[in-house]
Structures are given as C-alpha cells and as structure tokens.
Amino acid sequence: MLIETRALTKHFRIGSHQILHAVDGITLSIQENEILGLVGESGSGKSTFGKTLVGLYDRTSGEAFYNGVPLPAKFKSKDHLTYSREMQMIFQDPYSSLNPRMTVLDIIGEGLVLPGTHSRSEIHEKVAYWLEKVGLHPDHMSRYPHEFSGGQRQRIGIARAMIIEPRFVVCDEPISALDVSVQAQIINLLDELKESIGLTLLFIAHDLSMVRYVSHRMAVMYLGTLVEIGPSNELFFDPQHPYTQLLIESNPEPDPVLERSRPHTPIKGEITSPINVKPGCRFVDRCPRAMAHCSHETPEFIATSKDRYVACHLFS
C-alpha cells in the first residue's frame, strides 16, 4: 500500500467554543499505481483531506502512512523537504497557485533548486523537457503566468508537480476552473502521464463522470466522513448509499439523449454545517430513506461485497 490513513481527522477551532469538523475519521488506502477518485459536494472535506495527507494542514488526530512509514501529524521544514520529493499536489486554481512575479522557469524548476542537487543548466534542461511533456514549448520558460490561458497555467502547475518525479500526487479539483474543452485536454494529459511515469493519484473532483473515467476506485465523502467506496464503474452504475445515488442522479450526463432519459432527483437542501456536528448519520436531514434511528445512531462503515464498503443503516 503506498498511502494509508486510519481515522484521519482534521478539525478547525472557531473562536473559543466551536469546532469545524472538516474531516472526521477517514480510513482508506491507495495502492501503488492506483487512481482513487474522491467525490462529494463543496464543503464535504475532500480538499482538506488531501491537504492534510500531504502535510499542508496539521492532523488533529488519526494516522497516515506513506509506503508503510508513519507521516508526522505536524510537518516541520525537514519533513516538507523529505516528502515533497515523494508527494506533490496540483491545485484547483491555476490563477492563484502560480507566483505572478516568477518566470515559468523559476516556477517549474523551484523544486529542483531546494535540494541543491541540480546545476542551473540541468534545471533548464529538465524544465524544457517537462514543458514539452505537458504540451507547452521550451520558449515559454522566460514568460510570466499572466501571459498564459487557464489551461496553459494548469499545464504549468502539472509540470511543476511532476518535475520532482513524485510517486504520489493529490490532484485537487484540477479541472473545475477550466472550460469544458480544456478540461478534456487536462484529463487526457493526466491519463498519459499516469501511463508513462506510473503515478499514484488521489483525484479530487465533483464531476462524477470525469472521476469515473480517470479513476480505478471512487470514494464518496459527505460532511467530513466517508460514506461509500468501491470500484469506479460498480459504484457509478450501482450506487448503494442514498447520498451517492442522489449525487449520481444530479450529475449531468454529457450525452443529451441519455440525459433526457435519466431519472432526476435533486438532493434536497444544502449540506449541513460542519460546525459542532451531532451524533447519528450526517445525511439524515436530506435522506429520502431516513429511518427513526438514523438521527441518533452513527452508521458503521461495513463491507457489502468484495471491495465495496458503505456507511448506512440500510445495510447494517
């Protein structure tokens, strides 16, 4: 197993009395060369989970392992240096994640400067290689981020992450800020890189069709907890948790003929506040199949078949 988390939890304190339960006890594993898709509405805790895993946020409790080695709950500078060579992150917003005052050469080559193992000419050569690999031109390295389109900036962000040759990459909604046509190009690029350099990815997104296309397994989060996990096609075509069912029904189908023939049941209401959450199933206020005990008994995460797990009293 390359990545493993046990009851990983990240809370944020708000004022002196309130706790925001961003991530609450996530247990999952990702095998080498696997792509795990992580889906859920905005506010479900997906990005916070990814950032906590790679040390951008301190862990509140629980455990995380990289290749069997425990990761620190709070990364110090030396941990960032050690693990940034192994784990990288591609960010959601290609506009704000690139320093506007740095050239493309300095942005992409930055990760090679820190360890002090590459000469300036080696960095130049590697940046040129990665610019070509992500579909840009080596001449682009003297330019600044504002000279590029959104899709090109995301390609620069991908090159910045990949030049370190990490084994594990968290892709945090890498396509959601881009036009639909550019989204497909970025997905195809990640697909090619996955094949050519054997990456392990945590792919965070809210477009389930896209996640199904790129990932081997999908995990569904709701209000800081995992509600379902399983092989992508099985989960997409036979969702078990009521939340997953509604999430898939409300996801637009790209084919207009199929889209018209599908059932449409919008999810009622808004995701509940993650501040000072109550015991019981967190989906109870919006669940069309809720039972009396759902509001006070927290469902266990249980296996329903080989490789499929769900947290819902309908299966316990």
**Rule CB under 6 A: which residues touch ligand SF4?**
242, 281, 283-284, 287, 289-291, 294, 299, 312-314
Return the DSSP state at 138: G
CA 187/CA 82 separation, integer angstroms: 28
Minimum distance of ligand SF4 from residue 223's CB (angstroms) = 11
Smallest separation, CB 54 to ligand SF4 (Å): 30
- The residue among 182 and 267 lying less far from ligand SF4, judged by its C-beta, is 267
Axis crossing angle, helix 150-162 with helix 120-133, rounded to the nearest 10: 130
Exposure of 259 in the CB half-sphere (CA atoms within 13 A): 8
- Closest to ligand SF4 by CB, 100 vs 288, is 288
Give the up-direction half-sphere exposure of residue 109: CA atoms within 13 A in the CB hemisphere. Answer: 23
Stretch (H or E) spanning 212:
helix 208-214
Q: How far is the CB of 278 from ligand SF4 (least distance, A)?
A: 13
* Cβ at position 309, least distance to ligand SF4 in Å: 14
Q: Which is nearer to ligand SF4, 187 or 281 (by Cβ)?
A: 281
Tell me if 198 sits within 8 A of 35, measured CB to CB: no
Contact yes or no for 163/90 (Cβ under 8 A): no
Q: How far is the CB of 50 from ligand SF4 (least distance, A)?
A: 24
Between residues 166 and 299, which has the closer beta carbon with respect to ligand SF4?
299
Tokens (6 digits) for 306: 């080989």
Question: Smallest distance, Å, CB 38 to ligand SF4?
Answer: 19
Which residue, chain included where needed, has tokens 């209401």? Answer: 269
Rounded to whole angstroms, the Cα distance separating 226 from 221 reads 4
> Of 32 and 300, which has the nearer Cβ to ligand SF4?
300
Tokens of 253: 């189908």
CB of 293 to ligand SF4, least distance (A): 8
Please answer whether residues 233 and 213 qualify as being in contact, where contact means their C-beta atoms are separated by less than 8 angstroms: no
Q: Which is nearer to ligand SF4, 91 or 243 (CB)?
A: 243
SS3 of 81, please? helix
